[in-house]
Every structure is written in C-alpha cells, then in structure tokens.
Chains A and B, each alone.
Chain A
C-alpha cells in the first residue's frame, strides 16, 4: 500500500508537489498522469525516500518514508526516471549487486535472479556492459532491478519510455501479471498505457491533484463519450438531418477524411437512432463506431483548465 498525506515539496518559490494525498491499495495499478513538470517524479522520489518532503508524509506498506526508511525501502521496488544504472558494470554484476544489497542470500538469491532474467528476457545480454546496451534493454535492466526482491509495492517512473511496441507489450504483460496482489504506481504521459495497464488514474498538474478516477470514468468526461462516428461518401447531405434528431447535440465533419461524428445530448444514447436514420436515407456506411471517449482530450481539458469545445464537460 502507498499512502501520501498532504505531500508537499517546494524548490525555492516553486511548489513542485502541492499537498498531494493519494492512497493506492493492493490490487490497484494507479497511473500517475500529468504534463511534463507536473511533479510526478518529485512525488515518486519522496515516496521512495530519496527526497525529503517540505511538509506532509508518505508511507509504503505503513512505513513512513522518512521515519522508517529502511523498512519502507525493503517493501518497495522502484524504477527511477530514466532507469539509471551503473554503466561500467555488466548486467550480471549489476543485478548481483542489487541481490547483495537487498540481502537476498545464496540459493534463493540466484533463483530469484534467474526468474527475473527470464521474465525480462535478459539472458542474452547478461555478460554485456550496461553502457553498450540499447535504451530499451537498459530500461529492462532497470525493471529487473526493481522487481528483483519481489516487492509488495512497485513504483515505476515511466516504465515503457523508449521501448518499441513489442517491448512495451512485454513490459505491460509483466506489470499486468504482477498486479494481482501488489500495489503498483506508475507514472506515464502515454495515454494508451492508462488503458492497457491502469485501473485507476490520478491526474496532476503544477503539483496539484486534479482528478482521481477510473479510466472509464475519465473517458465519460469526454465530449466524445457516447458519440457515434462513421465514414460515408456524400455524408454532407446527412449532416442537417442528423442534427435534427432530438437526441443529437451536434454534428462535426472532419475536414481531412470526411469522417462524421455525431455528439449526443447529455445522457442520450444515439447509436440506434443514427443507424436508423442512415438506413432510411439509404446511405452506405462502411463502418460505424460508438466512441468511448478520448482520454487525450480529457487530459488536456483537465490539465490546462480550459473547456475543450462545447458539449458534455463533467
């Protein structure tokens, strides 16, 4: 479990993290979202016990990061931003160092290291210097370091940054697999990742908590939530007709690809009426889609504090 209580950190006049209170329970994968400089990494550094909070506190598995740092650090697996590691060491030496410093002794230590090396597919590079590895491999070495002691709490600062799509997928599978009984906090600015991994999202900007919801709840805040979009040649005709439907709040046509998006009035379901209307008009529709909502739009709306377009803002 991770708990922060009014966690605050100032650099001079700048408040990087502003009275942040969150609580992550076992089984939860919380995605910490925010624009660059929002205070994600600073918050994580305080939870990990690297930075001292200006005020407030952070606890890992009930251990205060400042008062009982060793117990808190033992319970935590942490991947710092950029996955730093000692470049002059080989992957094997580096992981052995972590094994030793974490006090994993003898047979158990070796078995654990083997398992992690398998999980992250590092067997082929064990003997290589970390400096010579690609960015993606280095990230995986960092991940291996974080999960080596099989911690109940995992905190990963941008775990898939710099990975190719296949590696991203592998890392997400790994996190997914670990998620069942663990507490996981990841920071990211990739919105797709939130869908793929998280069952809870916290959005922060300028150090302040702005939203705390499930990905689905966030999507519901989008004006695209429940909208229907389709592509049909000659759909210019239909725009007016669709606009006249009682459930419809508005119709937009993408000037580039001609895709039509129909927005519902609050609380209305419009897929059926739109389909019916299209059928009545005899319009050939190649494909029609019910939108779940667009996270990027909600993200922008929340973090920049401005209304994006009209429609349903929560």
Chain B
C-alpha cells in the first residue's frame, strides 16, 4: 500500500503548499461557528447538545467539499501530470484511493478543529458525549460521500469549474431528495414505492439518524456503499479516458 501512502502525502502536501488548505479551514471554522450560534440558536434552545452544529454540516459541505475535490483529477488532466501519475507503478484504484483519503483526512482535520464548540457545550452543560461522537462520525462519513462524488465528477472533466458545479448540483440533489417539499412535489406523479426509494437516497435522512446518536447499520452502509460506488465510477471514468 506504499503507493497509496505516497499519493496521500503528496495530495496533503499540495493542499498546504497552496492557500487552499488554510482558506478552507478558516472558512469552515468561521461558518460552522456563525451558523451554529446565530442561525442554529445554540443558546436560545437551552439544550446541551450539538444538534444546531451538525444540522448545518450538509450545507457547509455543499459549498466547501466541491472546492476541494474539483481539482483532484481535472487539474491533473489539464496539466498533463495525469500521464506522469498513471505511468508510475500504481493502479488507478490506488491513485483514486490516495486522493480520496487525503481529502477525507483533511476534512477530518477541519472537523477536529471544531473542538472548541464541543468544549463549550461541555462547559455550559452536561451533554451526551456519545451522541456528539456519533454526530462527528456521521458528519465525517457524509463528507466522505461528498468527496467521493467530487472525485468522480472531477475525473469527468478537465475544467475545475465544471467539476465544482456538477459536484454541488449532485450533492444538493442528494441532500434534498428526502425533504417533504421535494417528495410532495412528486406525490401525484410517481408511484409510492419510487418516492420511498428516492426518500431513502437522501443523505440528510441518514445523516440525521446518525447524528441523533442512532447508529443503525443501514445508515452506515448507505454512506460506505455510496462512497465506494462513486469511487468505482470515478475509476471507471478514468479508465475510459485511456481508451477514448
């Protein structure tokens, strides 16, 4: 697994070699704070938990994850380094996995840096830290899913802007899929079974379940399988590029 390791280190290094990493971290932390305290009514709720914090994460990721993943393959394709990378002794899978893990670890770092909020809530009250841990886990899994989508769509194009927009679009669809407004819209047009299926595709539904502290295997599987699926699709896309 040494090639994966090498790719992870290279990718992480390149995040921090450019301002991308720092800009991301600052924006993520500032937005997470603002959204939690002002939009989420953290104090006014009078409850010692981090629900208002986690509820905002899908929307944060919606903007910030595509910004990280858009360059993943598009930049390599455009800059010609794809040819260098793919003629080194590693498989497409290892390259994809390395890039995915680097981005995922990076988001993990961003999440870890939100620890002051956790300290705050523990200082103010006596929250259930198990639920909070589940919330972090769910958030990280969801971020992984977003990253996999971004990685796949970045392999589709050589334009980073296109990769960003496509990723954000797919992510917003997956977030909203389970919302009552969306489901109501299709109520008359689609059979009930299909609507239920769409509702189950919703990332929000699975994330909310986990972040309430309910670790259901189905929710975990949803994220793991969906992430793997997008990564496989990305590898297939890259492979297709070599034959076209």
Contacts and interface: CB of A to CB of B under 8 A. Distances in A.
A94 B7 CA distance: 11
B5 A102 contact: no
A73 B81 contact: no
Given A74-B89, A97-B9, A100-B6, A84 B17 contact: no
A62 interface: no
A73 B88 contact: yes
Interface in B207-238: none
B181 interface: no
A101 B86 contact: no
B242 interface: yes
B3 A101 contact: yes
Chain B contact patch, size range: 20 to 34
A80 interface: yes
B87 A84 contact: no
A49 B86 contact: yes
Contact of B242 (A52, A74, A101): A52
A82 B79 CA distance: 10
A48 to B, nearest CB: 4
A89 B17 contact: yes
Given A93-B13, A103-B2, A98 B79 contact: no
B9 A48 contact: no
Nearest to B95: A101
B90 interface: yes
Interface in A35-91: 45, 48-52, 69-70, 73-74, 76, 78, 80-82, 84-89
B91 interface: yes
Contacts of A51: 242-243
A145 interface: yes
Contact of B14 (A48, A52, A86, A101): A86
Contacts of B5: 100
**Residue among B5, B6, B7, B243 facing the most chain A CB atoms (10 A cut-off):** B6
A80 B87 contact: yes
Interface of B: 2-3, 5-7, 9-10, 13-14, 17-18, 79-81, 83-84, 86-91, 242-243
Interface of A: 45, 48-52, 69-70, 73-74, 76, 78, 80-82, 84-89, 93, 97-98, 100-103, 129, 145
